[in-house]
């Protein structure tokens, strides 16, 4: 099978695409993959590092108010479609998969016009504008949240698959998780993370909460600041503690996230779609602090879907404080019943076979074309 993957801008679009590609390669080792992204997006660094061939298309998004810049965007889109058609003709894919971001627009549209089967994947509970537009042309629309199905007019071609990022975490080795952190097996771990780049609001509240952690002496806290915030946040925490705290591990970045997630009893973090997919695949209780600075406030919608199912608690950023967060963490870590109930609810929402379900659809699309 020859597959073109496209998606960019954030890790939430890139990593699901890579998970689909990895699953396809495992099921059909002779498969060939080409990734089409933007020249300056995160994908331009992440994808080549995975050893996957990469090509780029220049594209920007529409402004939400009338602007002459939108005229230029239309011109870039048309130019991007021409570039995409050339790349597709050269590579000759059996199917094209889009996972969101502006770059999906010209690539998926070009594939549809060339008669190549396409699948787009919507990660969030609130569907993005690009995917809503592309759903008119796509052969299949896959969604991470059931609630998103109703947001696509052609529901006959939409299906609930979950998020393919879930597949990779269920294979993680717990033993390696403990050894990566240098702590004894069986240690209770609370992971606090604001996303791959960190989150200032979460970092600030962790500084306030740090002196309270001694009240949970049997819990090991792993706090990921984000690389750009690390030095300043670590300095502030050291000042707040006045002496080293062996139970608090402050890191700029976590290179082995699946392995650490696999040993976490509780996760505190944002409500990005990929993160939620990983949490529910493993059945990890969570305290979610959705970012208010995202399109359509989709992280809050993501978080509410888990809260309503009893799979997580949510604290809005405007209500966040060190005392409140510690109170919520303490309650969860001191109640085996609360942990068990939330874990079961979370696991009931998980789709650990998501990547396999999507690859199954790709095979069907390819067979139909043949």
Helices (H) and strands (E) in the chain, counts: 15, 13
Interatomic CA distance for residues 238 and 226, integer angstroms: 17
**Scanning the structure block, which residue is given the tokens 């402004």?**
63
Do residues 102 and 9 touch, judged by C-beta distance below 8 A?
yes
> CA Rg, the chain, in Å?
21
To the question of whether residue 12 is assigned a binding role by annotation, the answer is yes
Interatomic CA distance for residues 198 and 178, integer angstroms: 22
Query: Both tokens of residue 320?
Result: 């966040």
Q: CB atoms < 10 A from the CB of 295, how many?
A: 12
Interatomic CA distance for residues 158 and 179, integer angstroms: 42
Interatomic CA distance for residues 85 and 92, integer angstroms: 10
Interatomic CA distance for residues 88 and 339, integer angstroms: 49
Interatomic CA distance for residues 256 and 64, integer angstroms: 38
Do residues 21 and 52 touch, judged by C-beta distance below 8 A?
yes
To the question of whether residue 10 is assigned a binding role by annotation, the answer is yes
* Contacts of residue 251, Cβ cutoff 8 Å, sequence gap at least 6: 222, 223, 224, 225, 230
To the question of whether residue 11 is assigned a binding role by annotation, the answer is yes
**β-pairing verdict for 188-193 and 158-160:** unpaired
* DSSP 8-state assignment for residue 157: G
To the question of whether residue 30 is assigned a binding role by annotation, the answer is no
Do residues 93 and 4 touch, judged by C-beta distance below 8 A?
yes
To the question of whether residue 299 is assigned a binding role by annotation, the answer is yes
Do residues 162 and 351 touch, judged by C-beta distance below 8 A?
yes
For residue 336, which phi and psi values (nearest 5 degrees)? -65, -35
Residues that constitute the known binding site = 10-12, 124, 196, 299
Residues that constitute the known binding site for UDP-N-acetyl-alpha-D-glucosamine = 10-12, 124, 196, 299
């Amino acid at each position: 099978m020859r597959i073109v993957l496209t998606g960019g801008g954030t890790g939430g679009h890139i990593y699901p695409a890579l998970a689909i590609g990895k699953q396809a390669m495992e099921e059909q080792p002779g498969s060939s993959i080409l990734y089409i992204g933007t020249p300056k997006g995160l994908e331009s660094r992440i994808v080549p590092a995975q050893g996957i061939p990469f090509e780029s298309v220049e594209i920007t998004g529409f402004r939400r108010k009338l602007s002459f810049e939108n005229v230029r965007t239309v011109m870039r889109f048309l130019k991007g479609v021409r570039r995409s058609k050339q790349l597709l003709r050269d590579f000759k894919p059996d199917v094209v998969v889009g996972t969101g971001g502006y770059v999906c627009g010209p690539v998926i549209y070009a594939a549809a016009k060339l008669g190549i089967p396409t699948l787009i994947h919507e990660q969030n509970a609130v569907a993005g504008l690009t995917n809503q537009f592309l759903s008119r042309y796509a052969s299949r629309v896959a969604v991470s949240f059931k609630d998103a199905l109703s947001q696509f007019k052609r529901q006959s071609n939409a299906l609930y698959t979950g998020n393919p990022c879930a597949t990779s975490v269920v294979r993680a080795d717990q033993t390696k998780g403990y050894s990566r952190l240098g702590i004894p097996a069986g240690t209770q771990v609370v992971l606090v993370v604001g996303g791959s780049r960190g989150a200032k609001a979460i970092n600030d509240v962790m500084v306030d909460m740090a002196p309270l952690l001694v009240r949970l002496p049997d819990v090991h806290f792993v706090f990921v600041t984000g690389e750009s915030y690390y030095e300043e946040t670590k300095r502030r925490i050291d000042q707040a503690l006045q002496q080293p705290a062996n139970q608090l591990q402050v890191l700029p970045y976590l290179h082995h996230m699946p392995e650490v997630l696999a040993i976490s009893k509780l996760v505190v973090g944002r409500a990005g779609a990929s993160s939620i997919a990983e949490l529910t695949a493993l059945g990890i209780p969570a305290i979610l602090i959705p970012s208010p600075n995202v399109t359509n406030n989709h992280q809050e919608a993501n978080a509410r879907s888990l809260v309503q199912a009893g799979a997580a608690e949510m604290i809005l950023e405007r209500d966040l404080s060190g005392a409140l967060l510690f109170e919520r963490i303490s309650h969860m870590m001191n109640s085996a019943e609360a942990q068990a109930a939330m874990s079961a609810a979370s696991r009931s929402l998980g789709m650990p076979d998501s990547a396999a379900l999507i690859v199954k659809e790709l095979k069907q699309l390819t067979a139909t074309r043949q």
